[in-house]
Chains A and B, each alone.
Chain A
Amino acid sequence: NAGVTQTPKFQVLKTGQSMTLQCAQDMNHNSMYWYRQDPGMGLRLIYYSASEGTTDKGEVPNGYNVSRLNKREFSLRLESAAPSQTSVYFCASSQVWEGRSNQPQHFGDGTRLSIL
């Protein structure tokens, strides 16, 4: 029962470096999400993909890009990392029927990213 798998679990980058966070789900969910978690602020949505082939901005999209590679995989890319992007990143997936918000999101274990 893998659920949502994120790689890597930890990463340290230097300012200006780029990297891609990988996420895969095996629950056949149509929707996938990327959040960041900062102390005292809960989780904030970066980007989401309501279905394969579509992506949309969330609350804090600046500095990030995403790719919905196929139904299973949704990657998050930092093109030029900045210290303000130091955070814990969570990927999630859920099944959404007829555009209704009715199912819980299932989360990966998170990627702890530090940018020096």
Chain B
Amino acid sequence: AQKVTQAQTEISVVEKEDVTLDCVYETRDTTYYLFWYKQPPSGELVFLIRRNSFDEQNEISGRYSWNFQKSTSSFNFTITASQVVDSAVYFCALSGNNAGNMLTFGGGTRLMVKP
């Protein structure tokens, strides 16, 4: 069985602060994929990043960066110099080596960035 845990239910920061959203996963698959999605107040789900289990390189995209550590089963997401527009619920998700590409989601972290 797969499991994704986002222990931080809510985080509140002031604009321009850096913030890290934690994600810990469990899977028995040797090949798997990790994802981050953003859900802004408007409600849609926006894909941010995909990482496969055999690529542990960290990735940076503008103010966003992701730290994948297989040794600790973690895939953390950092926003540098946060902005009010970053306020959203962020979901971490896991897909194992299954035929249907089924996703297991964490419970989400609500990030509030105050001006």
A43 to B106, CA, bound (A): 8
Task: Assess whether B43 is interfacial by the CB under 8 Å rule.
Answer: yes
Q: B36 — nearest CB in chain A belongs to which residue?
A: A104
Report A1-53 residues with CB < 8 Å from chain B CB: 31, 33, 35, 40-45, 48, 50
Within 8 A of A (CB), among B51-109: 52, 91, 93, 95-108
* 8 Å CB contact of B107 from A42, A92, A110: A42
**Bound CA–CA A44/B95 (angstroms):** 13
Query: What is the CB-to-nearest-CB distance from B111 to chain A, in angstroms, rounded to a whole number?
Result: 15
Q: Do B45 and A107 touch (CB < 8 A)? A: yes
- Of B4, B52, B100, B105, the residue contacting A102 (CB under 8 A) is B52
Measured in the bound complex, the distance between the Cα atoms of B91 and A41 in whole Å is 10
**Contact residue among B4, B47, B98, B107 (Cβ-Cβ distance under 8 Å from A101):** B98
- Report the Cα distance A101→B4, complex, angstroms: 16
A100:B47 contact, CB within 8 angstroms: no
A104 touches B43 (CB 8 A): no
Alpha-carbon distance A49/B37, docked complex (angstroms): 21
**B-to-A contact residues, CB < 8 Å:** 4, 6, 9, 31-33, 35, 37, 43-45, 47, 50, 52, 91, 93, 95-108
Q: What are 25 of the A-B contact pairs (CB < 8 Å)?
A: A31-B100, A31-B101, A33-B102, A40-B107, A41-B107, A42-B106, A42-B107, A42-B108, A43-B45, A45-B102, A45-B104, A50-B101, A56-B100, A94-B101, A99-B99, A101-B96, A101-B101, A101-B102, A103-B50, A103-B101, A104-B50, A105-B47, A105-B101, A107-B37, A109-B43
